[in-house]
Amino acid sequence: MTLFEATRKALLAGVGVQTKVRELIDELVEKGELSETQGAKLIKEWSEKADKTGKDFGKSITELIDKALDKMNLPARDDVEKLNKKVLALSARLKKLEEAVGAKEAE
């Protein structure tokens, strides 16, 4: 199983759990075991915790990927973008130098 597949399954499982929790709380409210206010509060608290967990999970995945790329000695996107900018700047300077040399040779 790839990292992408594992992440996808975890996210889908999280969505399924969230749906079940909401259904359970709604059922408890209907039975009168929880007030609507208590049910709404529980849903809000649970949603906030689920959001935080999701963000933490995303951060962990990003860190794992960064570490893997670092071990593989692959450049990060920012590194590639910086190199591209340098190449463009050097290409522009080279073009100007070539034009200057060409103009002097034409004299």
DSSP assignment string, 34-92:
S-HHHHHHHHHHHHHHHHHHHHHHHHHHHHHHHHHHHHTTPPPHHHHHHHHHHHHHHHH
20 and 43 in a single domain? The answer is: yes
b/e string for 2-15 if b means 16 or more Cβ within 10 A?
A: eeeeeeeeeeeeee
The domain in which residue 98 lies consists of: 75-107
52 lies in the same domain as 104: no
- Write the pLDDT tens digit of every residue in 29-76: 899 998 989 988 988 888 888 888 878 888 888 888 888 878 888 788
Are 47 and 99 found together in one domain? no
Whole-angstrom distance, CA of residue 65 vs CA of residue 71: 10
84 pLDDT exceeds 80?
yes
Give yes or no: residues 61 and 105 share one domain. no
* Domain shared by 50 and 8, yes or no: yes
Decide: pTM greater than 0.95. Answer: no
pLDDT tens per residue across span 6-24: 777 776 677 777 788 888 8
Number of domain units in the chain: 2
Q: Is 33 helix (H, G, I), strand (E, B) or coil?
A: coil
